[in-house]
Amino acid sequence: MTKRLLDVVLASVALIALAPVLAVAALGIRLSSRGPILYRARLVGLCGRRFVMYKLRTMHVDHGGHKSVITAERDPRVFAFGRLLRRLKIDELPQLVNVLRGEMSLVGPRPQHPDIVRRHYARLHWETLRVRPGLTSPGSLYDSASGDAIVGSDDPE
């Protein structure tokens, strides 16, 4: 209960404080690429339940037939302003709404795409579904460059 209360208080304060940043980001997306400002990802969360996670859209609406759920470093689907949002992690800020709704926590294992859970999760991985997924993972708090090896590869899947 204490962690949840802390999540709600911090997410509320962050949303209010970062509202101008979100407004500028939304305007930048609108001017950079046609389509919605928000991207809605259907992911797996607590107890294996699916939920919709919100992000600022950083990719073109027309993906050009590209089916991967993982984005490589120089992925052509990401537009220029979207790259900036990703580099600064601003695209993740709408997930604060998911925290307020109780679908996510500020810190926890990252939520996964249902196909990744279905195809790649071993018995041990299922333990991560026993807690709320997080806006950031414990590992990224210790080493923010930990994902660079995966994201920088030509085929991150």
- pLDDT tens profile 71-96: 666 778 889 999 999 999 999 999 99
| Single-letter residue type at 18 | L
Average pLDDT value for residue range 132-150: 71
Q: How would you class 133 by CB atoms within 10 Å of its CB: exposed for 0-12, middle for 13-18, buried for 19 or more?
A: buried
The pLDDT-based confidence of 39 (bands split at 50, 70, 90) is very high
Instruction: Indicate if the pLDDT at residue 153 is higher than 90.
Output: no
Instruction: Indicate if the pLDDT at residue 107 is higher than 60.
Output: yes
In this prediction, residue 40 carries a pLDDT of 97
In this prediction, residue 10 carries a pLDDT of 98
- Going by C-alpha positions, the residue among 139, 133, 81 that lies closest to residue 108 is 133
In this prediction, residue 150 carries a pLDDT of 47
Average pLDDT value for residue range 50-72: 80
The domain locations on the chain are: 2-147
Kindly give, in sequence order, each residue whose CB lies less than 8 Å from that of residue 114, ignoring residues fewer than 6 positions away.
Answer: 42, 43, 44, 50
Cα separation values, 150 from 24, 133, 146, 157, Å = 30, 20, 8, 8
- Going by C-alpha positions, the residue among 64, 60, 63 that lies closest to residue 34 is 60
DSSP calls for 31-89? HHSSS-SEEEEEEE-GGG-EEEEEEE--B-S--TT---SS--TT-TTB-HHHHHHHHTT
In this prediction, residue 125 carries a pLDDT of 84
